Amino acid sequence: MNEKISSILKSVEKPGRYSGGEYGAIIKEKDAVKARFAFCFPDTYEIGMSNLGMRILYGALNREPDIWCERMFAPWVDMQQKMREYDVPLWAHESGDPVKDFDILGITLQYEMCYTTVLQVLKLSHIPLTAAARGEDDPIVIGGGPCAYNPEPVADFFDCFSIGEGEDNLVEFTKLYISMKEDGSYTRAAFLRRAAATVKGIYVPSLYDVSYHDDGTIAAITPKYEDVPKQVEKCIIADMDKAFFPDKVVMPYIEAVHDRIMLEVYRGCIRGCRFCQAGMIYRPVREKSHEVLNAQARCLYDNTGYEEISLTSLSISDYTELEPLTRSLLEWTDKNMVSLSLPSLRVDSFSRELMDRIASVRTSSLTFAPEAGTQRLRDVINKNVREEDLMRAVNVAFAGGKTNVKLYFMNGLPTETSEDIEGIATLAQSVVHEYYRNKERPKGRSPQVTISVSCFIPKPFTPFQWEAQDTMEMLREKQEYLYDKITDRKVRYTHHDARVSHIEAVLARGNRKLCRALALAAERGFCFDAWDEFFDYDKWLSVFADTGIDPAFFANRQMGLDEVLPWDVIDIGVSKEFLKRERARAYEAATTPSCREACAGCGANRLGGERTPCPKRGN
């Protein structure tokens, strides 16, 4: 690290965000590697260091002797100011070298509101903002993560995208870069075209023409060359027991948001919640065996000393080997004072046994997600839980000494009525009443039921991808209506900022025309829009107006079922026909069983080379 950077660190908040040198960081000899890969999480160090995907990909790339992957994060505003003042380009943590000197810059796109931060990272790195402006000596900029499933709003700023799970294809992508450099065939254009043609899951926006109808909808997305795929199929790891998982992690100098062992139990989800993008894009379900998970957990504990293990997945209680996994973990975690924690639980699979086993539910609070206030709307969204399931779960909690329950809901869901909104208040009140009916409840203590209500955002690759988001006025009215229906001080009501949800919907369903708005936002200094203190709704509306973008076209318009969607160039395995069937069933308030009960024919099990078995036995 040079003297200028060292001097700057003395004048900024939390210099440990930038200093590098952490225990577990991988250092290689520059002359011994053939490609240098900078991996960027476009948010603060504390958030990025908590991301399991970054830990996995960092290790997967670095196990290759000829590749050196280093970490980088978005500097906080005080550091950004100092970097501009002293003309210091953004650097990587391991070597301290400028990111602009690397071969490849990978940026994970975890949420739409990070897009402006991504552009500031490029500017701070002294890398041209658009792919078209980059020269032969600039890094190849590749995006990935869940938002890469609709890459079009940021297509101009990336050379390419990795679609799906990147443990294998990012290594193959980088190996191709090395081989073309070595045989002399490398040019930026030649490499990108060959990567698109030969490396599964690589989408290169510049190799596709997008044409539009007069009404602004897309007419066609057309490959420019015959060897470029019409659709880019996502990558998946078929056998999770053989998937790379780090046996060591970088230990942060400052406290991370999730400073603990994160044990990935499985990928995918057997449920088919119709609003949930993750439940579709991460299909099919692939579990790790409990023996492998126990061994990985013990190895990470021995190498890190962390005192908490979090079991992570989209729906942890659906893991078929949860009982033997927790039993085998508790054989050594209890005596080593290591606690186990779970994310929020499904009400239909919560039990006293599970509560007694897992440390995270030994606290006074539990979290469940009914999502909707009435059974009709829960059936519309295919939640497949009933009020009696929730009441059984909270009674188990109350009998176990719990007094606080947090419930997650959405408003603005398709077909929602005032009765559905009022049903949220009614359901919360029912939980309060259930507490007092429970004879085993904690004596002398009052319950607290917190309802957290987010705004529905129509996301790509869901049965609700065609739906219109409620207007700002409608969302505000619904939030006020619910507030008026809550009369008990034992029920606490919080809700998300509808303005943020509106911008998120624009970016989630946007096409390439949004690139000009994001470029202007970057020029005007937008950054950290996922943070409340930096988000400015009026400034966003000004950017859209100044670039001729109508945000309602993307957020508040019901898209046609036969319309070409911006993300149709991506193949996630789940067919559009399945999503249409699920949308039709939603309007009938008809539920679809989980994958474990019956295969609904979504198509995802065709991925991964050989046919990947459905969770339903025999399929």
Residue 282 pLDDT exceeds 90 = yes
Residue 46 pLDDT exceeds 50 = yes
Other CB atoms within a 10 A radius of the CB of residue 168 amount to 18
**Total domains present in the chain:** 2
Q: List, for residues 413-424, the tens digit of each pLDDT value.
A: 999 999 999 999
Q: Compute the distance between CA of residue 41 and CA of residue 49 in angstroms, rounded to an integer.
A: 8
At residue 443, the pLDDT reads 86
Q: List, for residues 372-401, the tens digit of each pLDDT value.
A: 999 999 999 999 999 999 999 999 889 888
> Are the beta carbons of 566 and 218 closer than 8 angstroms?
yes
Q: Compute the distance between CA of residue 211 and CA of residue 216 in angstroms, rounded to an integer.
A: 9
What's the whole-number mean pLDDT along residues 277-285? 95
For residues 370 and 223, membership in a common domain is answered with: no
295, part of any domain: no
At residue 610, the pLDDT reads 45
Residue 359 pLDDT exceeds 60 = no
At residue 616, the pLDDT reads 54
Q: Domain range holding 461?
A: 359-509
548, part of any domain: no
> Are the beta carbons of 457 and 420 closer than 8 angstroms?
no
* Burial of 609 per CB tally in 10 Å (0-12, 13-18, 19+): exposed
At residue 614, the pLDDT reads 57
What's the whole-number mean pLDDT along residues 256-277? 92
pLDDT > 90: percent of the chain: 80
Domain boundary among 509, 532, 557: 509
What's the whole-number mean pLDDT along residues 189-193? 98
Residue with tokens 């939603």: 586
For residues 80 and 223, membership in a common domain is answered with: yes
Give rounded-to-5 percent helix, strand, coil for the chain.
40, 15, 45
Domain boundary among 444, 476, 509: 509
Residue 456 sits in a domain whose CATH number is: 3.20.20.70
Closest by alpha carbon to 507, among 565, 554, 550, 471?
554
Domain boundary among 492, 509, 526: 509
Of 43-52, 184-193, 356-365, 520-529, which gets the smallest average pLDDT? 356-365
Q: List, for residues 140-150, the tens digit of each pLDDT value.
A: 999 999 999 99
What's the whole-number mean pLDDT along residues 450-456? 96
Output the furthest CA–CA distance in the chain (Å, rounded): 78
For residues 32 and 179, membership in a common domain is answered with: yes
At residue 613, the pLDDT reads 54
At residue 139, the pLDDT reads 98
pTM: 0.94
Of 233-242, 536-545, 598-607, which gets the smallest average pLDDT? 598-607
At residue 617, the pLDDT reads 40
270, part of any domain: no
For residues 70 and 209, membership in a common domain is answered with: yes
475, part of any domain: yes
339, part of any domain: no
pLDDT > 70: percent of the chain: 96
> Are the beta carbons of 36 and 178 closer than 8 angstroms?
no
10, part of any domain: yes
For residues 47 and 183, membership in a common domain is answered with: yes
Residue 165 sits in a domain whose CATH number is: 3.40.50.280
424, part of any domain: yes
Query: Residue 78 phi/psi, 5° resolution?
Result: -65, -40
Residue 108 pLDDT exceeds 80 = yes
603, part of any domain: no
At residue 619, the pLDDT reads 44
